[in-house]
Chains A and B, each alone.
Chain A
Amino acid sequence: MDPENYDPEGDLMILNLGPQHPSTHGVFRVKLWLDGEVCIKAVPYPGYLHRGVEKLCEKLSYVMITPIVDKNDYVSPFINELAINMAFEALNAVETPRRANYLRTLGAEMQRVGSHLLWLGTFGLDMGGALGGGASVFMHCFRERELILDCFELWTGSRFHYNTLTVGGNRHDVPAGFAELVRQTYTLIGQRADEYDAMLVDNAIFRARTKGVGTVDAKLAMELGVSGPILRASGIDWDLRRDRPYAAYNEVKLDVPVRYEGDCFARYEVRMAELRESIRIVLDLIDGIPEGPICALKPVKLPGAYKGKVGQAYAAVEGPRGELGTWVIADGTDKPYRCKIRPPSYHAVSLIPYLAPGNNVSDIVVTLGSLDPILGEVDR
């Protein structure tokens, strides 16, 4: 339906959801044409956090880029670092040591748990409001997330924005006592995940708000390039970690959860199953990390000392939100010629014009929350 030619039994109302709105997960603006409270048309306007990261990547040398991409998807910085460094390694055909691969896998899975916890909290906030049950879900999720941040702080020295990966391997080795801390933390989170399920899945209101809401068609999702939990909730059994293993994923047992409904509830189920799966992987990995060096290259003293080869490469990892890829063109200098980051959230957000029409404002908020967009990554 075209808002211009819509039968005006009354006027349509234009509602600007955002850019500063409690539940747009950052600075995201959707312009809604409303008939009563039912949306007729939705036009998203991203770009309120466009920080020119890709331009900045062209101006910085390879080893200086890692802390920049930390800030893209600020909920899972480790996986950002992994994605961009894998692209540089593919470009230069650098083989990372086995221990580094294991540590990268471990860090990525630890980070995925934290990211999904934050998603669950904000999803609850979208449905329950800041002054209600949603806030309780949010606070409890953040309680566990703090424990994860503690683990990372012990490992890398920073709560987030670690700057711990580099071309060829890792910067920081895990400290003594790390394995015990991680084991305790993730065992605890595994128990708490059951409590969240008890609080949400057994709740009639949660089911009523999410079942049948925001159904994503798998064919459309693939054309739009939507990936990750959203695609898996629509019945496409595809996971980069299993289908194109990177780091140490070919040595890790991995079950990929799939749901077929494609609605918000299916996305919730997929994410919770992934959360449990990641916890299991972390607990499996933490004792079996092989000994050895953590970086294949000698650390460079000058940022410009590291020169890339000529060529282009694309490397992708499975982030918490889907396929996080980097396409890089190199011209032989110490800086990339062009560095395109393929953010999963940008593709997910492009679903909004298809999902919003016919729903009312409450459902649009829930749908947006279930897509889990991170605006730093959408706008870059």
Chain B
Amino acid sequence: MTVPDDVTRLLAERFGLESGDPITVSRDRVVELGGALKEAGFTYLVYVACAHYPATDAEPDRTVAEYRVRRLPVDEVAFRVWVPTGESTPTLVPVFAGCDWQEREQFDLVGTIFAGHPDLRRIMLPEDWEGHPLRRDYDIATRHHPWR
């Protein structure tokens, strides 16, 4: 999926970013980028997805949050932010209302913290759960007393 031309121009002129699939954006500009894309007609939120990357020699322990938005019918843009574990990324709920549940789910499962989220509670797992199951270091068969 190629990035449309107007988005490439927008990225280069306003943000000084290279286009790509996905676009990598810094944490302090992600809300601005989301707003700019929404103004450019990308009003459809496809998904918010996070993935966990354990610490390597070059990088610290971190997660990536990828947002994918769409301008109907076909244009699609994905942009991602890198969030070191223990730090947070600003939420996109003010821009896309749908980020509410999506970011909650990713917080619950992957553990990415979205700063300023109105209701950052667990959504899939019980409230008293410990750990975030989709992190790479989380054992799949973690016991949870008393039901398993």
Contact = CB atoms under 8 A, between A and B. Distances in A.
Taking the complex as a whole, does A directly touch B, i.e. does some CB pair lie under 8 Å apart? yes
Interface of A: 45-47, 50, 52, 54-56, 58-59, 219-220, 222-225, 236, 238, 243-244, 312, 314, 316, 323, 325, 327, 329, 337-338, 340, 342, 346-347, 350, 379
Interface of B: 1, 22, 43-47, 49, 51-52, 66, 68, 72-74, 78, 96-98, 100-102, 105, 109, 122-125, 133-134, 138, 140
B76 to A, nearest CB: 8
A225 B43 CA distance: 9
B134 A314 contact: no
What does DSSP make chain A's interface, helix, strand, loop or mixed?
mixed
Contacts of A338: 49, 51-52, 134
20 contacts: A46-B123, A47-B125, A55-B133, A58-B134, A219-B43, A223-B44, A223-B96, A224-B45, A224-B98, A225-B44, A225-B102, A314-B1, A314-B46, A314-B78, A323-B46, A325-B47, A327-B68, A337-B51, A346-B101, A379-B124
B47 A55 contact: no
A154 B99 CA distance: 43
Contacts of B22: 312
A46 B104 CA distance: 12
A269 B14 CA distance: 45
Contacts of A50: 124-125
Contacts of B109: 54
Contacts of A45: 123
A219 B140 CA distance: 39
B46 A350 contact: no
A327 B47 contact: yes
Contacts of B49: 327, 338, 340, 342
Given A46-B123, A225-B45, A342-B47, A350 B140 contact: no
